[in-house]
Structure 1
Amino acid sequence: MAKKLSIIVVLLALMGATAAAQDAKAVLQAAAKGMGTEALKCITYSGTGGYVGIVGQGYSPGDDWPKVELASFSRTINFDARTMREEQVRRQGNYPSRGGGGIPIQGEQRLINLISGNYAWNLQGTNVNPQPAAAATRQLEIWLDPHGFLKGAMAAKDLVGFERYEGGPSREGGFGEKRNILAYTMGKFRIQGSINNQNEVVRVQTFVPTPLLGDTVEEKTYGGYKQFGGVKFPTNFHHHTNWDHEERPQGYFGVRDGGHNSFGITIANVQPNMCGEAVTVPAAVQNTAVPPVRVESQKLADGVFYLTGGSHHSVAVEFSDFVTVVEAPLDEARSLAVIGEVKKLIPNKRIKYVVNTHHHFDHSGGLRTYVHEGAIPVAHRDLVPYYYYAVMDLAPRTLEPDRLSLYPPDEFQETFVLEGVQNDKYTISDGTRIMDLHLVEGNPHAVGMLMVHLPKEKLLIEADLFNPPAASAPLPTTASAANTSLYNNVQRLKLNVAQIVPIHGRVFPWADFVKIAGSGKTN
């Protein structure tokens, strides 16, 4: 009897799974038919008057991503060839000139991004710039397009479907709209799409990896569908990177985490099956792989080492029985390489502190690696709650696991320490060597921005407030607002500085910087 019951249970489960798969396929077929996806091989669309949010570069953790205006936008996708060409012309527009990511933009900035299969590159005029690290997310972008999502669902082997209420107020009144949900995996990415009762794809969502926050939501919402040559296509794009909230959920209320709006535009021109020129992968792109992490060291003074070799640098400073590292940029791979170099340069001493100049993703992506190593992060008091609750958690990271998520230290949550710069100055010392951390007041780049001063060595370590020109290039004739804020703060604090040690670029004489920032000429 028990055996018969088991067989019946298994059969019922199989019947339920088969019915669910059939329902998902029926929803998919209705949407593909209604939107004209089946006859669509490629598509070109364009628009103006939108914006791009610079992800991970907000002025403060509570602010939205800083925006720049899209003077124009166009995209051509060939679904069969798995290629995409996207062109943007960006300008500052009327958006505030604060935050990172190259803000403020001077004049107009043209970007041409391409993807073909597993190859990604940019074009600057006729110059080809391979982007191997961007290939996976650019290829994903094809399938987050509303028609791309449906085509991905057609090819999926694990398509599932269900119904739920979601979104804002419904047409029928009340909160939420009944939608059909289709979901599948593509490589390591889980993708879900919401389809309304008009058989329109109104939302596509997945997660992408960021070193600081881990699995980070990527959400595309689509509206204002119109007919274009037998194909329905949305005229309103609104995208989020990170959840659309200003405060952390899961009990962390009061901790601001405002960055989410990453893209928005009104599409005016849609050309179904307009494929454009074939996208051919240049030889330079085919022969370029993600470069290995390289760390080079330069001794600046006794026990002070400049750790370069990439786009972002760190500085290691030796004390009597410990080491302090200034800046943990980019990601875990970079941080592990820097930590390894520090151990060679200063053996048998613990990295006790890692100083964080500011919270932008590219300057804080390696913090968790140092915490796993046993280091104590030091940041301005305004950033401590954000780091503690939003960053230093042990939530699973499914896309790019790091050491802290895979191998959490003993009693991590009970013993984790994060030092805050409380009075706009913080000193690390062993009684002989002194390292002073100062708040950079009034800077336009980031709230809680710190600069680091070594008084005896007359060295000033700073990030993003001044990026020196190449040694062969002429000095700038005008100063940016960030340059001016750095200069004014050094003058205010009466710091004795001989050289600037930037996180980007090269060691630069203070006297030459004064010629730029002290001239009174600004751009």
Structure 2
Amino acid sequence: MKIATLFLLLCLSFSHNDVQAKDLLKACCDKQVPVDDDRYRAIIFHEKRNELYHSSEPWQQMTYDIAGTFWYNSKHFLKQDTLRSGQRTLYSKTSLKGNELLLMDYGSKALTPVTPQLLTEQLLESARYTPALLLQYFREHKVTATRRADTKIYTYTTLIGDIRVTLYINSLSERVDKIGILANDELRGDVLTSISYLGYTTDGLFCYPGQIRIERVNGKLVDEVNLSNYTVVLHPPQLLDAPEDYAVADKKDPVPEIKKARYAGHIYLLNMPHTGVRSLVVEFDSFLLVAEAPLNTINGELIIREARKIAPHKPIRYFTFGHHHPHYLGGLRAFVYAGATILGTPDDETYVRYLATAQHSLSPDSLQRKPRPLQYEIVRDSLLISDGNMSMMIYHIGEQSGHTRDYLVYYFPQEKMLYEGDLVWVRNNGPAVKAGPTQKGLYKAITALGIDVREVLQSWGTGFPDYKMDISFEDLKQSVTAP
């Protein structure tokens, strides 16, 4: 009898928990975004947003000050704001309602073309300011609690597109405490965004947070949004007008392709038009060296396949990259998996290790499926690669490049050729134009090294037909001395 009674109590307990979890999503919606209320909540916000940028070192951030107003109900989110960074002031407007997205982004005077990916991105972006639209999405899609994290927090998880979204709802307050967004980044792998809602204020039956903390890129970036001046309005402003031909269209990604060209007997260039990059393959007596692999593992694997066609029986012993930006380092993981030793500066070792060991569970690559240890060899001032017959020098010119601290260039003394990433911009036609800081930096570095350079080859820039990719040293010199 006692066992039967205990079993019955456990069943009732589980049943009560299931009902509580089921009703909790509705109760949370009723408090934060009532479905049957078409009025709009209007809130003024001030935001500190940090972004990674084309920086001289990995993980450097730029901070933007943003201020504006947003309006929302259970079906519609609107926002207009002003962004300030240094001397720049930019504006944006957003209206998201179901499958209709009108977005005039910062610095643009035209509406952004809408894709399914952008719709998902902006739905998730709205959670930076209010959980309202995501709450309604979960309710409409009948998402149930997947587990009870502790005595008071219930979690609800679903996929929106290929992004895993989790709501953390407090059963005591019937409010959203946090939203977790796990997405795939082709360079950094599984990237978690955590949005925490703090300092809730109750206005009658409804509540909204006073502060929102957003941790992005696995905590590398931290943003804050402060909310104030909550009001209720019947009609929001008409920020943007939908064009008559409004449509959501899939974005067509360029087809990956690779075009091989031989520069000299043992030096090959692999042009990938879809990336704007030419990679370098150098064939030595018993091994290969590859320099530059743009954007992602897929491109890295494409380069490896083509390199193996050049010399099927020679291993890729080394992979090196001109600097830490994605167009040179993005395909790193394919070379770690292939067993190559990665050549880089001391400043980049920690960053390279982060990329090589990052989880890619949402979109598994070869290294995720079969992990291999990173082999990293440091290039300090210079490194000679030679097989006794031919040689190349890797020089660390760093800040002298005028671009990044870790900048490497590759010199081939027999060919009198120097290969670099993105420092030289000489037009195909017309008189010499005065060189910018990166061009001057490279010229000064070559002069300081005392090396005999006849020609400079550039990796990135194949998408700019007005500029030379193979630049004579005389052209470089003329640009530096031009008035």
TM over 0.5: yes
**Structure 2 counterpart of 1:157, from 143, 146, 149:** 143
Code of the residue aligned with 1:184 in structure 2: it is T
Structure 1 residue matching 2:306: 3-state secondary structure:
helix
The equivalent residue for 1:488 is 444
- The match for 1:31 among 25, 28, 32 is 28
Give the Å deviation of 1:77: 7.4
Displacement of 1:434: 2.0
Paired residues for 1:161-172 under 5 Å: 162=148, 164=150
1:368, CA displacement in angstroms?
Answer: 0.9
Q: Are 1:355 and 2:320 an aligned pair?
A: yes
Residue 305 of structure 1 is matched in structure 2 by: 269
The correspondence for 1:182, drawn from 155, 159, 177, is 155
**CA shift at 1:12, angstroms?**
7.3
Q: Are residues 17 and 307 of structure 1, via their aligned partners in 2, closer, same or farther at CA, if it must alter by over 3 Å?
A: farther
Residue pair 1:86, 1:112 contacting (<8 A) in 2 also: yes
Deviation sequence 1:65-101 (CA, Å, 0-9, x none): 41142466677778648xx7877765542xxxxxxxx
Residue 209 of structure 1, CA deviation: 1.2
Task: Classify the secondary structure of the residue corresponding to 1:22.
Answer: helix
What CA distance in whole angstroms lies between the structure 2 residues aligned with 1:418 and 1:494? 28
- Please give the alpha-carbon distance, in whole angstroms, between the structure 2 residues aligned to 1:268 and 1:515: 58
1:436–1:40 distance in 2 versus 1, CA, 3 Å: farther
Preserved CA contact (<8 Å) 1:501 1:508: yes
TM-score, normalised relative to structure 1: 0.71
Paired position in structure 2 for 1:217:
192
Quickly say closer, same or farther: Cα 1:35–1:113, change in 2 above 3 A. Answer: closer
Counterparts of 2:258 and 2:114 in 1: how far apart (Å)?
21
The one-character-per-residue Cα deviations of 1:4-24 (angstroms, maximum 9, x if unpaired) are: x89997x87765554333223
One-letter amino acid matched to 1:301: A
SS in 1 for 2:285: coil
CA distance in 2, matches of 1:48, 1:470: 44
Tell me the SS of whatever aligns to 1:286: coil
Q: Distance in 2 between matches of 1:42 and 1:333?
A: 45
Instruction: Indicate the larger mover: 140-149 or 41-50.
Output: 41-50
Q: Could you say which residue in structure 1 is the equivalent of 2:298?
A: 333
Q: Could you tell me how far apart the structure 2 residues matched to 1:301 and 1:265 are?
A: 56
Which of 389, 396, 400 is 1:432 aligned to? 389
Unpaired runs of 5+ in structure 2? 463-467
Structure 1 residue 453 corresponds to structure 2 residue 416: no
Give the distance between the partners of 1:474 and 1:122, measured in 2 at CA.
39
Percent identical among aligned pairs is 20
1:125 is matched with 109
Letter in 2 for 1:401: P
Answering whether residue 259 of structure 2 is matched by residue 296 of structure 1, we say yes
Matched pairs, number: 462
TM-aligned CA deviation for residue 219 of structure 1 = 1.8
Q: Which moved more, 1:370-379 or 1:106-115?
A: 106-115
Query: Aligned pair in 2 of structure 1 residues 459, 236: CA closer, same or farther (>3 Å)?
Result: farther
Q: Name the CA shift for 1:183/1:363 in 2 (closer, same or farther; >3 Å).
A: farther
CA contact (8 A) 2:420 2:457 kept: yes
Q: Distance in 1 between matches of 2:429 and 2:247?
A: 27
In structure 2, relative to structure 1, the CA distance for the partners of 1:235 and 1:8 (3 Å cut) is closer
| Structure 1 match to 2:221 | 260
CA–CA separation in structure 1 for the residues paired with 2:416 and 2:72: 54
**Is 1:191–2:148 an aligned residue pair?**
no
Shift of 1:161: 5.7
Q: Whose radius of gyration is greater, 1 or 2?
A: 2
Residue type of the alignment partner of 1:368: R
TM-score (norm 2): 0.76
In structure 1, the gaps of 5 or more residues are 94-105, 165-177, 245-258
Shift of 1:499: 1.6
For the Cα contact (< 8 Å) 1:307–1:316, is it kept in 2? no
In structure 1, what is the equivalent of residue 465 of structure 2?
none
Report the secondary structure of 1:184's partner residue: strand
Give, in whole Å, the separation in 2 of the partners of 1:238 and 1:347.
52
Distance 2:264 2:90 in 1: 40
Higher alpha-carbon deviation: 154-163 or 374-383: 154-163
Counterparts in 2 of 1:491 and 1:287: CA distance versus 1, 3 Å: same
Residue by residue, what CA displacement relative to the aligned partner does 1:306-338 show, whole Å, maximum 9, x if unpaired? 423123422222222322111122112222222
CA shift, 1:407, in A, is 3.1
SS of equivalent residue, structure 1 residue 392:
helix
Task: Using the TM superposition, give the Cα deviation of residue 268 of structure 1 relative to its aligned residue in structure 2, in angstroms.
Answer: 6.1
Q: Distance in 1 between matches of 2:411 and 2:9?
A: 70
| Alpha-carbon spacing, 1:17–1:267, altered in 2? closer, same or farther (3 Å) | same
RMSD, matched Cα: 4.4
The residue number in structure 2 matching 1:205 is 180
Q: Deviations over 1:448-500 (max 9, x none)?
A: 33222223333333335x263775799765624x4444343333223333224
Offset, 1:288 = 3.8
- Residue 53 of structure 1: CA displacement? 1.1
Residues 54-65 of structure 1: pairs in structure 2 closer than 5 A: 54=52, 59-61=56-58, 63=59, 65=60
Q: Contact 1:149–1:204 at 8 Å: present in 2 too?
A: no
